[in-house]
Amino acid sequence: MTWGDAFPSLLAAIAWLVGPGLIVTAPFRLGALARAAISGLVGVCLVVGAATLFGAFGLSFAWWQVGAVTAIGLALALAVRPAMPRLEPRPDRRLLLTIGLWMLSVLAAATVTFFRVPTPDRISQTREAIFQLSSTSAVLDGHSASPFALGELHSTAGAFVYESSAWQSFAALVVQTTGLPIAAAFNVLWVALVAAVWLPGICWFTRTLVPTWSAAVVAMPLGVSFGWFPYALLTWGTHYSATFAYALMPAAAALAVLATRAVLGDRGRRSRPMRWTAAAVGAALAGGAIVAAEPKALASLFVVVAPFAVWRLIVVVRNARDQGPERQRHARIAAMVAAASGLVLVSFGLWYGHEAIEPTAQLDYPSMRVNQTAFESLTQVLMTQSLLGVTGIVTIVAPLLALAVIGGVFMALRRPSNRWFVASYVLFAALYVLAAGSYGVVARTLTGPWSDDPFLVAAALPLLAVPLAAVGVVTLGRVIFPKRRAISAAAAIALSFVIAVASTGTLAESGVSESAGSVFRLPAADSEFAVVSAAQIQFMQGDVRSRVPAGQRVLGDPWDGSALTGVYAGREPVFPDVAGEWDEARLTLAQRLPMIGEEPEVCEALDALRVRYVLYNPHQFAGGDPQGSVFSGIRAAVDAGLFTLVADDDDSRLYRIEQCGPLA
């Protein structure tokens, strides 16, 4: 398969991401940019809503369910249309130019990321990708895609686990409607997210903050110029769920800003119910979409919007001094409600961060260690350099981009209405310095909502850096041509294109392409520290698929790649993830399998889980389980020669368990 072969599937992925949302938002009075951005949020809510609704009735996730929920959403949209205000008061302009820059930006992002990935069916050889791949396979095999049920795959002991399912649901839709392999669908969906969700969202968010079309157009190429997002979350992690959430973040933040403006606006009493209704719908849509993609990203949304809410509240209280008693009373109520809400949210965030210290202290992941000094972290923010998570690679300075952001900060500080998003940017910079440069209790508590992961914190920086850079570029255009608005806008757009070309070229040459190539590297045979090798994939597609009967599970140590038998062999793995809360039957097989001839509980567990085959590969991804020998019994039983060898390719082996007799 070539990247050209995957292009029709890319169009299908884009259609799934924004198509349902475009249908539901059709009755509303929206500009083209606002409609494109909001459609991504609506689409996520519709798709995950369909997975949840039909999954509650025991139905397997299918594309037609999205159509049914979309029809319901359209009916509701028609009913509430009279109460919804227009979100784009001025007509859209320069759409053709915006579309042209959009196509070039998407091409640049895809090229920078996958230039050293020869085929689209490569997988990210990272720990986090294992469960994303195996859970998508389970959804395609009939498991519920509901976020309230997906966690059952790696929490089989019965404890409830909310598992965001937006990524798996959309990947499953791409596979169902195009026939693309799961691995290729993941890479196609990543490009589609950048194209259909992130770029329209960041343009609309920029225009919401800086209400000129020049700034929105300029934001398009700038949106693919920062290494922090979308590239770093692919090369570190790989954080697919977080990538989805952060791609939605600009549109969600724009809706949150508009909702705050509506609630804390200065319009009369007659418009208050409409404004509150629209604000509630917008806030629910933004929050619901983020939760469906990755709940941890709500912390980033809060840090973005909180300074704006505080600033608007100060303005309302200050203006109420010169107005009547009723207006002052409403201002005091709004202040108390806002203060109480903020206190609750901050307290919850600090509690969550403190609670996250103990679990993460037991693990030894690179993101949990002190990687660099605070000065180095601060320098990276100022110089727009990005950690990529592969062998300590940090992108080099992009001088034009860094100057644009710094210039935008100074220009934004000159206008009171723009100072709040400078404050948000500074907050994220401080959090990044803490996450990347400190391992103390205070730093880990404050960054706990992001799992003390500097990559998750840094991914939010472009959300503010793009509007700031847009302000800097547009201002420079006006300085050069102060009396010719059209020419100054053209100069700003041309300058943004130059900055984007220089920045993406810098990213490609200083590590992004190399890091992505390393993450997606597919060894021919001995997979060493990778999840799987090409030979192992071929073994699963051939011998495992042909020899293991349909309906039976495959047992294996998930650290040696056996967790992906569902992806490549169409046979469900007993352990679809390298970590989980396992039930008694699975723990019996993981630890007491060598006692198969002595303890009847072992055969009972094999029968309960419908297992008669063991897949074995001598390697262990990333050196094996850092928490101990959870799955040591599987390897010990194989090494003891307890099972019958039925297939061997000198790299992987498939054994049949005969001690317990045939399955019923």
Interval 312-334 mean pLDDT: 66
Q: What is the pLDDT of residues 162-176, one digit of tens each?
A: 999 999 999 999 999
pLDDT at 370: 45
pLDDT classification of 313: cutoffs 50, 70, 90? confident
Residue 487, CB half-sphere, CA atoms under 13 Å: how many?
A: 6
Do 17 and 197 contact (CB within 8 A), yes or no?
Answer: yes
Q: What is the pLDDT of residues 135-144, one digit of tens each?
A: 999 999 999 9
On average, the pLDDT of the chain sits at 87
pLDDT at 93: 64
Q: What percent of the chain has pLDDT over 90?
A: 63
pLDDT at 362: 35
Better pLDDT: 305 or 612: 612
Query: Is the pLDDT score of 274 beyond 70?
Result: no
Estimate to the nearest angstrom the gap between the alpha carbon of 57 and the chain centroid: 28
Residues 6+ apart with CB under 8 A from 609: 553, 555, 574, 585, 586, 589
Before 230, cis peptide (omega within 30)?
yes
Do 34 and 87 contact (CB within 8 A), yes or no?
Answer: yes
Query: Strand 611-616 to strand 553-555: parallel, antiparallel, or no bridges (unpaired)?
Result: parallel
Written as one string, the DSSP assignment of 572-608 is -BS-SSSS-B--HHHHHHHHHGGGTTT-HHHHHHHHH
- CA dist 17 and 21 (Å) reads 8
- CA dist 84 and 574 (Å) reads 50
Torsion angle, alpha carbons of 284, 290, 296, 300, to 10: -80
Q: What is the pLDDT of residues 6-55, one digit of tens each?
A: 999 999 999 999 999 999 999 988 888 899 999 999 999 999 999 999 99
Written as one string, the DSSP assignment of 145-209 is --TTTGGGGTBTTS-------HHHHHHHHHHHHH---HHHHHHHHHHHHIIIIIHHHHHHHHHHH
Residues 6+ apart with CB under 8 A from 133: 123, 182, 183, 186, 564, 567
Query: Is the pLDDT score of 354 beyond 50?
Result: no
The residue assigned the tokens 């909310």 is 162
> Rounded to 5 degrees, what are φ and ψ at 373?
-80, 165
Using only C-alpha atoms, the chain has a radius of gyration, in whole angstroms, of 26
Torsion angle, alpha carbons of 163, 127, 376, 496, to 10: -70
pLDDT classification of 323: cutoffs 50, 70, 90? low
Structure tokens at 656: 């049949």
pLDDT at 225: 96
Angle between helices 461-480 and 298-320 (to 10 degrees): 60
Structure tokens at 471: 């302000």
Strand order in the sheet with 611-616: 553-555, 611-616, 653-656, 644-648
Q: What is the pLDDT of residues 221-270, one digit of tens each?
A: 999 999 999 999 999 888 999 999 999 999 999 998 888 887 776 554 44
- CA dist 475 and 488 (Å) reads 9
- Alpha-carbon distances of 311 from 314, 322, 650, rounded to whole Å: 5, 18, 66
Burial of 385 (0-12, 13-18, 19+ CB in 10 A): buried
The stretches of 321-451 forming alpha helices (DSSP H) are: 325-355, 357-361, 374-382, 399-413, 419-437, 441-446
Do 528 and 522 contact (CB within 8 A), yes or no?
Answer: no
Nearest of 344, 309, 475 to residue 404 by alpha carbon? 475
| 20-31: burial string, b at 16+ Cβ within 10 Å, e else | bbbbbbebbebb
- Tallying the residues shown for the chain, one arrives at 664
- Alpha-carbon distances of 277 from 27, 259, 305, rounded to whole Å: 17, 9, 19
pLDDT classification of 129: cutoffs 50, 70, 90? very high
Interval 484-511 mean pLDDT: 91
Do 113 and 238 contact (CB within 8 A), yes or no?
Answer: no
Do 146 and 160 contact (CB within 8 A), yes or no?
Answer: no
pTM of the model: 0.93
Interval 378-402 mean pLDDT: 90
Provide the 3-class DSSP secondary structure of residue 29: coil
Query: Is the pLDDT score of 111 beyond 50?
Result: yes
Structure tokens at 496: 């943004």
Do 393 and 372 contact (CB within 8 A), yes or no?
Answer: no
Better pLDDT: 580 or 184: 184
Query: Is the pLDDT score of 361 beyond 50?
Result: no
Do 289 and 21 contact (CB within 8 A), yes or no?
Answer: no
Interval 627-654 mean pLDDT: 90
Q: Average the pLDDT over each of 244-248, 474-478, 485-489, 569-573 and give the range with the smallest value.
A: 485-489
Query: CA angle at residue 625 from 624 to 629, to 5 degrees?
Result: 110
pLDDT at 605: 95
Query: Is the pLDDT score of 358 beyond 60?
Result: no
Do 157 and 218 contact (CB within 8 A), yes or no?
Answer: no
